[in-house]
Structure 1
């Protein structure tokens, strides 16, 4: 059942994204653009250089934290954090562009390594004060990670060159979340 809900959510998100990006009077063939956009869901790392693929990538992956802080400073901060707190993961959480969910008050989080993605979604929901009937989805490198996955595993597979794990949240899809303990994990 969860697989069906995830698939429906991804289809809905793709449809809504394509509605915003594809212009009927563009000089590109719409079939070609749609194929290019849907190739993103099969393999996000093999994006073509078409305008539709670039628009979707920008919608999901633009990081203002990276733009505000130089690489050397981010690397030094992540190394200092990992040295001081080896059982914690430095995470940057940012809102996706063109989403209707509120902006988060803090971007940097120091997360226990044994926390699941679902539990972290609960923390983000609490921070943005999102009502229970609204859905939120967390993306890592433009991919929706499994809610039962440990953040330590997600971190090892997807950490950035600067040592932070970058996550983007959006309200485009719909399915449930896992409850977590009430502890403050923000930095």
Structure 2
């Protein structure tokens, strides 16, 4: 799993305030932090913070991540939430409700291989 550098760079109170502000201003959006898994061979993503529409599926969000890291079509990418591969048809809003962090953000990790082996 990624070391959650976002968590290390920003204190809890600041992250909580930012997530609350985002949710107040954009109630139909989900604040998501995306970080590359340690020892992953896929490129680093250019931005870590995303404001995702609540009705987006995990599969659609994976497509967004693929585009941001400019991953070629033949290469696989896996997105994990708390070391678990969420179903691609699941709504981001459902994943957020079940897995959001205490700071109000949803943390997702991506890798070029199924690092954790859990489906």
TM-score by length of 1: 0.61
Shift of 1:173: 3.4
TM-score by length of 2: 0.95
Tell me how far apart the structure 2 counterparts of residues 157 and 77 of structure 1 sit (CA, whole Å).
Answer: 20
Unaligned residue ranges in structure 1 (runs of 5+): 1-59, 179-187
**RMSD (Å) for aligned C-alpha atoms:** 3.0
Unaligned residue ranges in structure 2 (runs of 5+): none
Q: Which has the higher helix share?
A: 1
Contact 2:83 2:116 in 1 (8 A): no
Matched positions, count: 119
Shift of 1:177: 17
Q: Which residue in 2 is equivalent to 1:168? A: 109
- 1:61 aligns to what SS in structure 2? coil
Greater relative CO, 1 or 2 (CA 8 Å, sep 6+): 2
Give structure 1 regions of 4+ aligned residues with deviation exceeding 2 angstroms. 173-178
Shift of 1:155: 0.1
Structure 1 residues 176, 132: CA separation in 2 closer, same or farther (over 3 Å shift)? farther
Query: Residues 6-53 of structure 1: CA distance to partner in whole angstroms, max 9, x if unpaired?
Result: xxxxxxxxxxxxxxxxxxxxxxxxxxxxxxxxxxxxxxxxxxxxxxxx
Query: Rg bigger for which structure?
Result: 1
Tell me how far apart the structure 2 counterparts of residues 96 and 175 of structure 1 sit (CA, whole Å).
Answer: 10
